[in-house]
Structure 1
Amino acid sequence: MKINFLLITLYCFSFKGIAQVDPIRQNPIPQDSVANTQILTTVVLSASYQKASGVLIPTEKITESVLQNFTPIDLVDAINQTSGVYIQSGAINTNRITIRGVGSRTLFGTNKIRAYFNGIPITSGAGETNIDSYDTNSLSTIEIVKGPKATQYGSNIGGTILLSTKEANKDGLDVSTTFSAGSYGLFKNTTSASYKEKDLSAYTSYGHLKLDGYRDNSKYNRNSILTYTEFNLSSKFKLGALIQHYDNSAEIPSSLSQTSFNEDPTQAAFTWGQARGYEDNNETLAGLTLTSEVSQNLSNTTSVFYTYLDHYEPRPFNILDEITNGYGARTIFAKEYKFKERQAILSFGGEWYQDRYQWQTIDNLYQENNGNGSLEGALLSDNKELRSQFNLFGTTTVSLAENWKVEAGLNINKTQYEYIDLFNLGAANKSADRDFDPIFAPNLSISYTASNDIVFFGNVSRGFNYPSIEETLTPDGTINPDIGPEKGWNYEVGGDLLFFKNTLRLKSSFYLLSIDDLVVAERVGDDQFIGRNAGKTNHRGVEMSLQYVNNIAPRLSLNTYINADFNAHKFIDFVDESANFSGNDLTGIPKKKMTTGVSIAHETGFNTGVSYRYIGSQPITDANTLYSDAYQLLFAKAGYKKEVFSGLVITISAGINNVLNTKYASSILINASAFGGNQPRYFYPGNPRNYFSSVGVNYNF
């Protein structure tokens, strides 16, 4: 029924997307950067939504050149320089992304945001997003939309992250390979090839990453392959194909108590070390995208996709064995039209996603395995879940006057879960369904261009996050029919200003994000949590980005920036069974975060730069009786790029992470409980000073 409805939508509506150009503060500022963010272009395809949000007001973009300024291991350091965005990283495979404080209460991963790769959703039906599977050397851009402003991408309260792969940008065959090595057994290789001719564009890459790790039981090994191809079937039709597959094995050292963290941060948590806990993943993402230019003013982009994840994770308390099969379709129609003789853009579409999640827990007999780690015992549970989401969305952007533009949108979401208990068939069966009411999420943005150098903007939008089916289960495995989705309103005003002949850019935002029915996980056992709607939070803050780019000598350029955010995220109404936390600071988010950096590049190919990050203290418990220590990190990198002869380019670089050798917790496990007389394990130790170097060769035939 839902597939038929999506196909009806595909053929009955005709709308066109808007191609916005949001200048990237980390790169040299283009002369017309602010003006470009407000211009409605005359030739726009719906395909622009595949790799860009298209929202009216500025977003944050991280480009390939910025990714290359940081460690080649993962995306964490590059993303963490963005104001309002904070990633806590317990390990390469354990990341918690928060945007303006949303997602801070997730214990072991990322949810409450939605992520896409080349327009294909990579967030599971449970709302979980993993970024460790994406190779930094294969990405061209990362766009971050803060808050529920991206109507066409689900209106999640936290926001949206859009990852885009590299493409062939030169005619002919281009081949490159990069080798990196560094501290703690780091070895990485990415080899890629791209080919482009009149009607064909193809990019493929293979990546390998190996790391022994700073801590005990923290080895990581990943192999991945990515292929993205576009065919011009005719002057009106283009077909794109995306396939990514990776497999990885990652040991899990887990968190430490305060005493263990102070005495020996290299150790793994005792039980995790004894069980030799780890996770093993095999994941595949495949998609086909057809872009149709129906007429000069009408286009459509439709994608069908499939995802597969086989996850196996021995933990001290049990062994988790799960398989997820996901599939769906996404379509966007786009049309240009006139509104009071002014140019306007209207887009409309739908997205349907469903996954089948099968999981078992198995008794872990590691204590009986003579020190050889985890050993499977008896089956403890056997479950199947069907998780389905359907979104309808529409957005229009119109010019009301010479300097005023308005964007209005609406997202309608329908979500349902079906839970089947295969272990307790019969009288004890706890199978159940959850069919949530539709949620309507409107969005209104406005921008005023005072001059080519000064733009002001504002936004009011509504977002939502559904609880996962696990959060709707009680400890005895029955469905809690009372727990519902979080809902929130986002209010934001800001400005984007250029000074001194566009060499200095200042961007600032003031926001209030009010969330009702906050879903919290209360820990009641070693691996037991109760999810419930606990109350209301207010997320208030200011974000500022200042960048200066100029030539300081005839052949020497300078790029420096400061990004800062200050917040006052609070529980407004939060009462649990034992205490009233209303008025307390939101757990797991620093009140202050600042990053700054400076880089210098010479026309001969030499470049060098340093960056600095300050993370303020953050509450570890809802009672605010315990706070983490503030810390600061310094990074440095230098490189050289040279065209040896026509078509052959060699790149050499080296860098240092944590130059000051700061001892800090890179991730905090909030509200950790103590079991068996042991201290709560709150802290994931960050890496001390470490080094890396890279050598790359690129040849264009």
Structure 2
Amino acid sequence: MMNRFSCFAFFLFVSCVVFGQKDSVTTLDEVILLEDFAPKKVQGITPSATIAPVVLEKFSPIDVASGLNQIPGVYMLSGALNTNRITIRGVGARTPFGTDKLRLYFDGIPVTNGTGFSTIEAFDLENLDMVEVIKGPKGTSFGANLGGAILLNSKNPDTDETRLMNHCTVGSYHMLKDNVTFQHSEKGFTLNLSFNHLETDGYRQNSRFERNGLLLNSSFHTSDKNKLGFLMNYIDYKAQIPSSLNETDFRENPTAAAANWLAAQGFEANKYLLLGLSNQYIFNGRLKNTSSIFYSYLDHYEPRPFNILDEFTNGYGFRTVFEGKFSEENQYSFGSEFYRDEYNWSTFENLFRDNNGNGSLQGDRLSKNREFRRQFNAFGTLTLAFSPKLYGQLGLAFNQTVYDFRDLFNSGSENTSARRDFDAILLPSLGLRYHIKYGHLFANISRGFSNPGLEETLTPNGIINPDIAQETGMNYEIGASFRFPKQRIALEVALYRMDIDNLLVAQRVGEDQFIGRNAGETRHQGFELAVNHSFELSKTITISPYVNYTFSDHVFVDFVQEGNDFSGNPLTGVPKHRINSGFTLRHLSGFEWGLNHQFVDEIPLTDANTFSSESFNVFFTSVRYRKALFKNMALGINAGLNNLFDTNYAQSVLINAVGFGGSQPRYFYPGNGRNYYGSILLNYVF
């Protein structure tokens, strides 16, 4: 149940809508744009949600979760800076760790690995100009995954300008973050170079985090029709791991680390490199092509209480998209995307118990493996105007996935090498949009899929399961987008239903062992609402309240596991209600004050629905000030207070946790206590 804080936030919004009568409304994009305009990248009439930088600036520069969670239907659970899971309309909620069942792109380059996992923490929030989210499989050109797609777009310099910026932030838990950016633009050439450093001791024991990153993005025109682009993103970080807590420790000592992870001084060290070379060629006013080739490398080392994981991944691929039009209203696109990676991983004994309290110590090798993963996607869309008001879009995607697993440790009959070729799959979609006076109505039907992750493809003996199948599902959605200029109100609403077959279930059978099964069917139904308003309190002060609401009615339709029938139970890991609300007060002098609120309903943590997390409300407040110091220099000051009322809440959870050795199961990742941050931004234009 929502307590008085949720009711107060909703009452505040309603009051502002009813009594506000002046000034202009903030411009919205196709669907659910939060506050400021950000042009979308998705072609045609595919609905998407975008977040502009001004929304991200409401929160701490290390808090990407609060920004993404502004979008109805999107829920990012963050156990730590390096432990994130993004779910979209409940898809991916059963994944134990990390983000899968969606596609992640950075500046148009796919950065999701060969088994479908995406790592958003490999990118610095401050380097982003916009985040765009396609909810569900209707993004034909971006993989048609059941969860959808997230498009990250880096900042570009303004035309004919040279700029140097430094943004330095300090905060609780000895947090220090610094981002230095140099941007240059002249006719036919742009350059964006950014270095960032972050360090923090963290809220909990064994949670220190250190990261350095470098981003280089450049483009130049070789002719009036041709533009070349180069991208490099490098991240090097080391993050201690406090892991999850049982219910007793979560309530009584949320700053503690799990005892075994603390004793092992568990951590992960990552070096991540992404290189991309792109080319855009305009054939004529009606056809252009954008193509890119890319390479990625990840070196990961993770000492854990049960073993030490040492792995590296080499990935490469290409993407090409042709965009054309028969007329301004009738458009088409087609293209393909290929990704291949080589994943090498080994495990070793962890002798931390014999290391005199000095943490992890690598022992004998336990396994050595290599897996080749290959995905090929082809896609096409056709957008037609049936009348000046009615548009339709047809889409078709094709996917072929192959896993080739090599056991390099065992020999003879004990060797578990195997290959798994999934059947080729076709993924059609149909969308409609009808324009009305103050907005448009939309509807779409689309088919999507999800590949099993690495653990889900293997049996308990480490052998590829030949019977494991891809999840598939049909998505049905209707919605509307309205903008009322005189009333300064923007409203977005969507209703959807997604039926998923061959549900992939990762069952934990050991401390570091999961197996996958196709366990049945789920039905995802929901309602999403986003409302923004803006009006004048005086000639110099404006206020912009908002409410974003998510209702999730997600259930197991057919789910029987080891003789237990969970059919009819709510889907594990998904809160039924979520609310993000707040307002921003602006003064013409450049001063802003914002108050933001998040409500998350209880979350079922077991398939039997015998145990759930508690609902919670968390409040954030921040002030911002911008001032031109000289002709070419500007100053920005930000300060914020997070978790205003020092609420003890679970910022992330594990489902179906198992206690080993008689210990309680560990379900909870505590959110940070009350904490602050403050930053100074200097911006010099040459």
Structure 1 residue 259: Cα displacement: 1.1
Choose from 547, 570, 575 the match for 2:532. 547
Moved more, 314-323 or 550-559: 550-559
Choose from 250, 254, 268 the match for 2:257. 268
Aligned mates of 2:183, 2:684 — CA distance in 1: 11
Choose from 558, 575, 578 the match for 1:590. 575
Aligned mates of 1:55, 1:635 — CA distance in 2: 36
Alpha-carbon contact 1:74-1:132 (below 8 Å) kept: no
| Alpha-carbon distance change, 424 to 127 in structure 1, aligned in 2, over 3 angstroms | same
Instruction: Name the counterpart of 1:190.
Output: 179
| Alpha-carbon distance change, 391 to 28 in structure 1, aligned in 2, over 3 angstroms | closer
Aligned mates of 2:63, 2:369 — CA distance in 1: 33
Aligned mates of 1:270, 1:150 — CA distance in 2: 44
Partner SS state of residue 262, structure 1: helix
Structure 1 residue 74: Cα displacement: 3.2
Choose from 510, 513, 517 the match for 1:528. 513
Structure 1 residue 502: Cα displacement: 5.8
Give ranges in structure 1 of 5+ residues lacking alignment: 1-19, 31-36, 38-50
Choose from 66, 69, 85 the match for 1:80. 69
Alpha-carbon contact 1:89-1:95 (below 8 Å) kept: yes
Aligned mates of 2:634, 2:160 — CA distance in 1: 16
Structure 1 residue 57: Cα displacement: 4.1
Instruction: Name the counterpart of 1:404.
Output: 390
Choose from 22, 27, 41 the match for 2:30. 22
Structure 2 counterpart of 1:27, which letter? E
Structure 2 counterpart of 1:599, which letter? T
Structure 1 counterpart of 2:657, which letter? A
Instruction: Name the counterpart of 1:372.
Output: 358
Choose from 608, 626, 641 the match for 1:656. 641
Q: Deviations over 1:486-513 (max 9, x none)?
A: 0011000011112252610111000001
Alpha-carbon contact 1:258-1:681 (below 8 Å) kept: yes
Structure 1 residue 678: Cα displacement: 0.7
Q: Deviations over 1:593-640 (max 9, x none)?
A: 001010011121111110011000010100000011000000000011
Aligned mates of 2:624, 2:485 — CA distance in 1: 29
| Alpha-carbon distance change, 238 to 117 in structure 1, aligned in 2, over 3 angstroms | same
Structure 2 counterpart of 1:600, which letter? L
Residues 1:570 and 2:555 are matched in the alignment: yes
Aligned mates of 1:427, 1:79 — CA distance in 2: 49
Aligned mates of 1:609, 1:54 — CA distance in 2: 33
Choose from 305, 310, 313 the match for 1:324. 313
TM-score (norm 1): 0.92
Aligned mates of 1:677, 1:468 — CA distance in 2: 29
CA RMSD of aligned residues (A): 1.4
Instruction: Name the counterpart of 2:209.
Output: 220
Aligned mates of 1:527, 1:266 — CA distance in 2: 24
Aligned mates of 1:498, 1:655 — CA distance in 2: 31
Structure 2 counterpart of 1:455, which letter? H
Instruction: Name the counterpart of 1:349.
Output: 335
Alpha-carbon contact 1:57-1:457 (below 8 Å) kept: no
Alpha-carbon contact 1:28-1:549 (below 8 Å) kept: no
Structure 2 counterpart of 1:646, which letter? K
Alpha-carbon contact 1:668-1:682 (below 8 Å) kept: yes
Partner SS state of residue 143, structure 1: strand
Aligned mates of 2:37, 2:106 — CA distance in 1: 26
Structure 1 residue 134: Cα displacement: 1.5
Structure 2 counterpart of 1:280, which letter? A
Instruction: Name the counterpart of 2:495.
Output: 510
Instruction: Name the counterpart of 1:6.
Output: none
Instruction: Name the counterpart of 1:146.
Output: 135
Partner SS state of residue 569, structure 1: strand
| Alpha-carbon distance change, 556 to 463 in structure 1, aligned in 2, over 3 angstroms | same
Instruction: Name the counterpart of 2:4.
Output: none
Structure 2 counterpart of 1:552, which letter? L
Aligned mates of 2:583, 2:193 — CA distance in 1: 33
Alpha-carbon contact 2:44-2:383 (below 8 Å) kept: no
Aligned mates of 1:473, 1:87 — CA distance in 2: 27
Structure 2 counterpart of 1:379, which letter? R
Structure 1 residue 558: Cα displacement: 1.9
**% identity of equivalent residues:** 46
Partner SS state of residue 329, structure 2: strand
Instruction: Name the counterpart of 2:51.
Output: 62
Aligned mates of 2:304, 2:425 — CA distance in 1: 37
Q: Deviations over 1:174-228 (max 9, x none)?
A: 0000110010111000000100000101111000000101100000000000010
Instruction: Name the counterpart of 2:664.
Output: 679
TM-score (norm 2): 0.94
Instruction: Name the counterpart of 2:25.
Output: none
Instruction: Name the counterpart of 1:386.
Output: 372
Instruction: Name the counterpart of 2:165.
Output: 176
Aligned mates of 2:540, 2:217 — CA distance in 1: 37
Structure 2 counterpart of 1:313, which letter? E
Structure 1 residue 428: Cα displacement: 1.9
Aligned mates of 2:188, 2:150 — CA distance in 1: 30
Give matches, 1:96-495, under 5 Å: 96-338=85-327, 343-451=329-437, 453-495=438-480
Aligned mates of 1:221, 1:79 — CA distance in 2: 23
Alpha-carbon contact 2:343-2:372 (below 8 Å) kept: yes
Aligned mates of 1:502, 1:121 — CA distance in 2: 41
Give matches, 1:556-635, under 5 Å: 556-635=541-620
Structure 1 residue 133: Cα displacement: 2.1
Structure 1 residue 420: Cα displacement: 0.3
Structure 1 counterpart of 2:342, which letter? R
Structure 2 counterpart of 1:407, which letter? Q
Partner SS state of residue 679, structure 2: strand
Q: Deviations over 1:9-61 (max 9, x none)?
A: xxxxxxxxxxx95366322579xxxxxx9xxxxxxxxxxxxx71225143111
Number of residue equivalences? 659
